[in-house]
């Protein structure tokens, strides 16, 4: 049973949603898999065929009973259960609005985590594993470890860290509501400089902890990579592993992508050029199939290295024959900058400030290169989408970017992308220059890399098998279970 605050296509702010949809669907080929998440009012119940399953459900929180309804949809063999509780989930945003984070987030997500246990009982499902994701559901392993309910005596927990930059740190006022024992407010559990750190508590109590790439699993053992959680992660190192995310090859597949006007494949790339022209037209660029085009899609957050892009692309457009497109939303300073840049570089720069699934696909399909200069990147999905679409990634060698992109070797034309190491706009500028010169001066190398990239297998099958192996490992500790 997955417990998550987002899952695609119902509610998504980033890669967490993709993973909490594609991984359960892959696991469902061999297992019975349920996903529990909130029914945010933004979820279109009609479009997704979500129907009421049960009402009058109740979970005890602090000194009150919270009553909610349960909704359900079946998708690709997975049962998705949605908790309809308007007090917490009938809002404009998922976690926040432009005005900031919802002040009651610790209440909202401790409710979700506790209600998941009630959902299991109400649907009469005894999970072997409850799989929690990020700080929002990090209380699931804690509740399980308390052994409050014999119904879950055979259930183990896994906590996956998708992004350690978000830890769910809050004042202590919700402890009683969330049933966190004040005795667990110590250095090796929830306590963090006097506040409650939900992710830290999850790390302390989960049977196994995973993160979304092997490299990131190493990075988060250090003080910088862990944003301060390295001590507890080192203490739990024997139970920590990195399993690379996969991509949903039904959704991200250039030969059957319903969002792109021209389908293409590694055997026939003609459609890719046509998508490039369509993308140029859509975002107001000069239509030219032969100019090097770089794309970016992502959250406008410092994590994504946007200030490195700011420091590099104007110079690149001034000094080289290249174009840039940027699709994203988030931090206002970046929205203003990228929203206004087209005025200064007409025909060379185009942007869409907002969230658009369709444009995200078109940028992957129509660009020649994809920019991902992240300061840190637990896994990153866009670079894998790029590889599948023959769009060579330009990445900083960190976390999952380092694990999934192979650097270009000019002597052999091997590799799938272009890497740089320093957190510096100059390093990014130089690497953009390297990509541009490869595109114009060594087109055979570019074509070979494109072929290599498109033939890589980033489907979920091997990663899902790694999760199954991990689940089996925790079940092995249980003599009562026959595997």
Determine which residue in the list 295, 366, 378, 417 makes contact with ligand GLC, applying CB under 6 A. 378
CB atoms near residue 340 (< 10 Å): 12
Of 13 and 451, CB closest to ligand GLC? 13
Give residue for tokens 């590799």: 415
SS (H, E, C) 1-69: CEECCCECCCECCCHHHHHHHHHHHHHCCCCCCEEEEECCCCCCCCCCCCEEEEEEEEEEECCEEEEEE
What Rg value do the Cα atoms of the chain yield, rounded?
A: 23
Instruction: Kindly state whether residue 402 participates in binding ligand ADP, applying the rule CB under 6 A.
Output: no
The tokens describing 166, both together, are: 């978000």
| Partner interacting with residue 212 (select from ligand GLC, ligand ADP, none; CB below 5-8 Å by kind) | ligand GLC
Two tokens at 308?
Answer: 């490195």
* Cα end-to-end span (Å), the chain: 18
Choices 152-160, 280-288, 305-313, 377-385; region in contact with ligand ADP by CB under 6 A: 377-385
By C-alpha distance, which of 79, 97, 209, 84 is closest to 142?
A: 209
How many CB atoms are located within 10 Å of the residue 58 CB? 12
Enumerate long-range contacts of 437-446, CB under 8 Å, 24 or more apart: 438/408, 438/410, 439/292, 439/368, 439/369, 440/292, 440/321, 442/410, 442/413, 444/413, 445/408, 445/410, 445/413, 446/368, 446/392
Options 76-84, 121-129, 258-266, 377-385: segment touching ligand GLC (CB under 6 A): 377-385
Q: Which one of ligand GLC, ligand ADP, none is in contact with 112 (Cβ closer than 5 to 8 A by kind)?
A: none
Answer yes or no whether residue 214 interacts with ligand GLC by CB under 6 A. no
Fill in the per-residue mask, 314 to 343: x = in contact with ligand ADP (CB under 6 A), - = not in contact.
-------------xxx--------------
Applying CB under 6 A, the site for ligand ADP has a residue count of: 18
Instruction: Give a three-class secondary structure readout of 212-262.
Output: CCHHHHHHCCCCCCCCCCHHHHHHCHHHEEECCCCECCCCCCCCCCCCCCC
Tell whether residue 306 is a contact of ligand GLC (CB under 6 A): no
Among 4, 382, 391, 431, binds ligand ADP (CB under 6 A): 382
Q: Which does 360 bind (CB under 5 to 8 A by kind): ligand ADP, ligand GLC, none?
A: ligand ADP
160 binds ligand ADP (CB under 6 A): no
* Minimum CB distance to ligand ADP, residue 249 (Å): 13
163 contributes a contact to ligand GLC by CB under 6 A: yes
Q: Does 95 contact ligand ADP by CB under 6 A?
A: no
Q: In what order do the strands lie in the sheet with 191-192?
A: 169-170, 195-197, 191-192
Assess 14 for contact with ligand GLC (CB under 6 A): yes
Residue at shortest CB range from ligand ADP: 15
Binding residues for ligand ADP restricted to 280-299, rule: CB under 6 A: 297-299
Q: Report the residue number, 371 or 436, with the smaller CB distance to ligand ADP.
A: 371
Binding of ligand GLC by 379 (CB under 6 A) = yes
Contacting residues toward ligand ADP, per CB under 6 A:
14-16, 18, 297-299, 327-329, 355-357, 360, 379-382
Contacting residues toward ligand GLC, per CB under 6 A:
14-16, 19, 162-163, 212, 245, 377-381, 400
């Amino acid at each position: 049973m997955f417990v998550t605050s987002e899952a695609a296509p119902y509610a998504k702010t980033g890669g967490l949603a993709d993973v909490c949809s594609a991984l359960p669907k892959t696991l469902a080929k061999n297992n019975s898999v349920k996903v529990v998440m909130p029914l945010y009012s933004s979820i279109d119940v009609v479009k997704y065929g979500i129907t009421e399953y049960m009402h009058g459900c109740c979970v005890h929180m602090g000194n009150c009973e919270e009553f909610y309804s349960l909704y359900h949809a079946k998708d690709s063999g997975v049962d998705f259960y949605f908790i309809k509780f308007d007090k917490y989930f009938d809002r404009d945003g998922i976690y926040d609005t432009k005005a900031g984070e919802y002040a009651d987030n610790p209440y909202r997500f401790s409710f979700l985590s506790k209600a998941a246990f009630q959902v299991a009982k109400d649907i009469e499902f005894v999970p072997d594993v409850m799989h929690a994701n990020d700080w929002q559901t990090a209380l699931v392993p804690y509740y399980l470890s308390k052994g409050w309910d014999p119904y879950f005596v055979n259930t183990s927990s896994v906590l996956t860290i998708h992004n350690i930059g978000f830890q769910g740190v809050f004042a202590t006022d919700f402890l009683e509501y969330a049933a966190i024992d004040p005795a667990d407010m110590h250095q090796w559990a929830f306590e963090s400089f006097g506040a409650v750190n939900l992710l830290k508590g999850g790390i302390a109590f989960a049977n196994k902890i995973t993160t979304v790439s092997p490299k990131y699993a190493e990075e988060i053992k250090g003080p910088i990579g862990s944003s301060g959680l390295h001590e507890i992660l080192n203490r739990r190192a024997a139970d920590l592993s990195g399993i690379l995310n996969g991509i949903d090859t039904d959704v991200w597949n250039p030969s059957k992508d319903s969002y792109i006007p021209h389908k293409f494949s590694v055997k026939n790339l003609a459609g890719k050029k046509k998508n490039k022209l369509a993308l140029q037209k859509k975002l107001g660029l000069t239509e030219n199939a032969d100019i090097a085009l770089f794309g970016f899609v992502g959250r406008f957050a410092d994590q994504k290295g946007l200030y490195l892009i700011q420091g590099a692309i104007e110079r690149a457009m001034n000094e080289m024959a290249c174009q840039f497109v940027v699709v994203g939303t988030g931090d206002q300073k970046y929205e203003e900058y990228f929203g206004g840049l087209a005025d200064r570089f007409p025909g060379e720069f185009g942007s869409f400030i907002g969230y658009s699934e369709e444009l995200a696909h078109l940028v992957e399909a129509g660009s020649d290169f994809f920019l991902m200069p992240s300061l840190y990147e637990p896994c990153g999905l866009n670079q894998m989408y790029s590889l599948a679409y023959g769009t060579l990634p330009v990445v900083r060698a960190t976390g999952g970017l380092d694990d999934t992109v192979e650097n270009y070797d000019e002597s052999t034309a091997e590799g799938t992308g272009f890497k740089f190491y320093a957190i510096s706009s100059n390093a990014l500028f130089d690497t953009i220059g390297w990509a541009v010169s490869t595109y114009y001066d060594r087109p055979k190398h570019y074509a070979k890399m494109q072929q290599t990239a498109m033939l890589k297998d980033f489907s979920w099958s091997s990663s899902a098998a790694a999760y199954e192996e991990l689940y089996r490992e925790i079940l092995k500790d249980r003599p009562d279970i026959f595997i």
